[in-house]
Structure 1
Amino acid sequence: MSHHDPFTAGFSGDDDHDFEIRTVLGHAYSGAADVGEVLAAVAGVRDGDPDAWFAAWDGLGDRVAALAEASAAAGQHASAASAWLRASGYYGVAVNAVAALPADDPLLPTFRKHRAAWDRWVDTGGLAVERLAIPCAGASLPGYLFRAPGADGEARPTLVAVNGSDGSLTSLWSAAVHGALRRGYHALVFDGPGQQSMLFEHGVPFRPDFEAVLTPVLDAVTARDDVDPDRVVVYGISQAGYWVTRALAFEHRPAAAVVDPGVVDVSASWTARIPHQLLKHLDAGDDHAFDRDMALGMRLSPTAARTWRFRARPYGSDGYAATVRAVREYDARDVAPRITTPLLITDPEDEQFWPGQPEQLASLAPDVATVVRFSAAEGANYHCQPLARALTEQRMFDWLAGLPGLGQPAS
């Protein structure tokens, strides 16, 4: 029998699908996935079949949601809550899978199934959770504040978790909230501009000046009697590695922050996939030539065209050149030296999207930055260490516990 190494060979011949599977499998540590049902659901999906990919995740979400309903009807509330959490995570993947479909029609219905499953888990999972409406730039950001078990109104350190470009709230539970609660922190998750409900239901796009978002979020959190305002920590995953970095250059209240990974120039993940000759048009200011040649390339690859449309939508710009110019505004190189907050920067081996940027960020803020590396030998390579979330959680919270003024919260 020939040797088969799934960790190195991957779970799919499609790189994007493989990474998504790894990410969901990593969520099993926090109860947001079950390994067998995930692998069984995607086993028959062929590479290059976006309809089957979407159907696999949407169908898995439906099946597990039905399990939750059956358990709830039988009075088995712990089982129901477990299934609702898993269903919300699977629907979250299905939301992103819409990007490769010919039409966006399933987007809102799938997102609403995801959020409904999340809310059912919030209400039945046995945790103390308060829904918040956070005022921000004339809008109201939906948030969920998880209270540490046993806090009983005591002012606790609080982790504010900032999502990436297309992550679900379920993924934030797995990335940071689960670990925060186990260590005596409260934890806040929310949809910011361009994220999930703010984009899909309200059409609010991303904004590069994320201090305009983090400041009102911190205002809402630190005003609470059950939050210790001197022990608020900010965590940012994936593209939030940029958002948190940018905001910390202007907002100095957090006691510490973690960016997972460090990101200073979001556009690098876009321009790395655009032919150099096309970028020369853009840099020369010839937007017409850039848009013309990009449109030709997209006609030759309908899947790439659909993915571009999905990825470009949160930036609120029309046209290929205008979108790339908008993405280039998400650059923290000029402001990162202003950061005074102790900053942990994750740096995984084989980072796909922003290779080298964690070290670049550390060099821009050397007095406050600590880089923690993750390797393939630890099972912790690739963007955001998808199969090593327990190790990431351990290193992150152990680092926080060693900082002056934070220490280890009561649990």
Structure 2
Amino acid sequence: MIGNPFSHPNRIFSSGFYTDPDLDFEVRTTLGKVTSGAADTGEILSTIAEADQGEPQDWFERWIALGDRVRAIADESVAGGHHISAADAYLRASTYYGVALGCIDRLESDQLLVPVFRLHREAWDNFIDATSINTERVEIPYEGMTLPGYLFKPTGKELKCCIILVNGSDGTLSGLWGCAKAALARGYTVLMFDGPGQQSLLFEKDVPFRFDWEAVITPVVDFLLGRDDVGSHRLAIYGVSQAGYWVPRALAFEHRITAAVVDPGVVDVSTSWIEHLPSGLKKLLAEGNERLFDIEMSVGMKLSGATPRMWNFRARPYRQDGYFKTLQEVLKYNLTEVVGRIQTPMFISDPEDEQFWPGQAKQLAAMLPGEKMLSSFTAAEGANFHCQPMARALTEQRIFDWLHHILKR
């Protein structure tokens, strides 16, 4: 006899979709994109229904297949002149290719990294071409090259503000669409772009991260203020994930931005790396013993096939030779010495169960000398974990209500 399926509480939200925390977080993050139309619930759940967390190749192939299927829907809609349907499907396809892209470092080889990135970006660009939103591809001058970006313009709104969206360490542009859509609905002009070490600049031009993000944001502000259609607007800025460090760092030096949002707040990026090291390795790092540190790290990497792949994934954007040099570079990503210079009012999200930088949102709020809003997000609201993956509507409501309060002054 089959028991009553409703006799016990549903544990999926608290127990997770997978015991593997990375896959569970990926599912939550992808489900969170449903709110903005960048994913669809049934497409996600049917894709993971039979996916084994111990089979990364199967996981990868399932998301590629979903991206292909949804892209084919978009192509068919274009052929039939159904541009709204095409835009919707291209946007979803870009998300699903993005999930596959994030999985590649679990595979035996990363040779598909650039081809899959191009699948993702092509679907995103097809969305840009098909959408009815007033959109412009832009090239932002930056140190002898340009940063590729997209400028979205609202229609029929009175609020004169432009918001700069700053991505995290490995997020796709389609991952920012929820915030962009929420901003456009409120009358904001929106700029999103690839910065050093992000997406196209990393995969196609081999440009690494940099800790001094003011060198990135100041040219972006110059670019916006130099445009006739944006120059008279007030500027806001939003930073997600590791941009919770980059945005405050930039604001310590760039003071032409009226209001800022960090989601979440990050003071010291290195803690998410160093806290996982054994005490002996931490000691060697603190002592500056590069030779012995790299030897012991090399030995440790041989103990698990997954460990070096994870290291390669996280270290790739820093473009340093060796374990010691990589961590020395990551240690530069620390706000302690510059946070006192920040004048910009700041909204800081502080999610319960933050996995990567626990406690740092509160730390940043305590360190900031000026106006700030520390906003707690809880599991009871369905809003726990890094960047509140399954509570993006709630997140955007709080962010933009606060921004409106600041900007109307």
TM-score by length of 2: 0.96
Larger mean CA deviation between 291-300 and 107-116 belongs to: 291-300
Unaligned runs of 5+ in 2: none
Q: In the TM superposition, what is the alpha-carbon distance from 1:229 to its structure 2 partner? A: 4.2
d(CA) in 1 for partners of 2:141 and 2:159? 22
Q: In the TM superposition, what is the alpha-carbon distance from 1:291 to its structure 2 partner? A: 1.2
Structure 2 residue matching 1:52: 3-state secondary structure: helix
Q: In the TM superposition, what is the alpha-carbon distance from 1:106 to its structure 2 partner? A: 0.7
Structure 2 residue matching 1:300: 3-state secondary structure: coil
Q: In the TM superposition, what is the alpha-carbon distance from 1:12 to its structure 2 partner? A: 1.4
Aligned residues: 403
d(CA) in 2 for partners of 1:333 and 1:106? 39
Alignment partner of 1:57 is 2:63: yes
d(CA) in 1 for partners of 2:10 and 2:380? 17
Q: What does 1:77-226 align with in structure 2 at a 5 Å threshold?
A: 77-150=83-156, 156-174=160-178, 176-226=179-229
- Structure-1 residue corresponding to 2:295: 292
d(CA) in 2 for partners of 1:20 and 1:229? 39
d(CA) in 1 for partners of 2:206 and 2:300? 28
Q: 1:312 aligns with which of 307, 312, 315?
A: 315
Deviation string, structure 1 residues 98-144 (Cα, Å, up to 9, x no partner): 11111111111100010110011011111100110001112210010
- Structure-1 residue corresponding to 2:332: 329
**One-letter code aligned to 2:105:** A
Runs of 4+ in 1 over 4 A off after TM superposition: none
Q: In the TM superposition, what is the alpha-carbon distance from 1:363 to its structure 2 partner? A: 1.2
Deviation string, structure 1 residues 15-51 (Cα, Å, up to 9, x no partner): 0011011001000000000011111111222122211
Deviation string, structure 1 residues 164-212 (Cα, Å, up to 9, x no partner): 00000000112x1011000000100000000000000000000000000
**One-letter code aligned to 1:131:** R
Residues 155 and 227, structure 1, Cα contact 8 Å, conserved in 2: no
Q: In the TM superposition, what is the alpha-carbon distance from 1:155 to its structure 2 partner? A: 8.4
**One-letter code aligned to 1:203:** D
**One-letter code aligned to 1:9:** S
**One-letter code aligned to 2:116:** T
Larger mean CA deviation between 36-45 and 233-242 belongs to: 36-45
**One-letter code aligned to 1:88:** S
Deviation string, structure 1 residues 270-322 (Cα, Å, up to 9, x no partner): 11211122111111111222111211121111111111112101001011111
Q: In the TM superposition, what is the alpha-carbon distance from 1:367 to its structure 2 partner? A: 2.3
Q: 1:360 aligns with which of 358, 363, 375?
A: 363
d(CA) in 1 for partners of 2:283 and 2:270? 15
RMSD: 1.3
d(CA) in 1 for partners of 2:130 and 2:156? 18
**One-letter code aligned to 2:408:** L
Structure 1 residue matching 2:350: 3-state secondary structure: strand
Q: In the TM superposition, what is the alpha-carbon distance from 1:4 to its structure 2 partner? A: 3.0
d(CA) in 2 for partners of 1:250 and 1:341? 10
Residues 159 and 188, structure 2, Cα contact 8 Å, conserved in 1: no
- Structure-2 residue corresponding to 1:342: 345
d(CA) in 2 for partners of 1:230 and 1:118? 27
Q: 1:406 aligns with which of 391, 394, 408?
A: 408
- Alignment CA distance shift 1:386-1:155 (3 Å): closer
Q: In the TM superposition, what is the alpha-carbon distance from 1:162 to its structure 2 partner? A: 0.2
d(CA) in 1 for partners of 2:141 and 2:408? 28
Residues 194 and 314, structure 1, Cα contact 8 Å, conserved in 2: yes
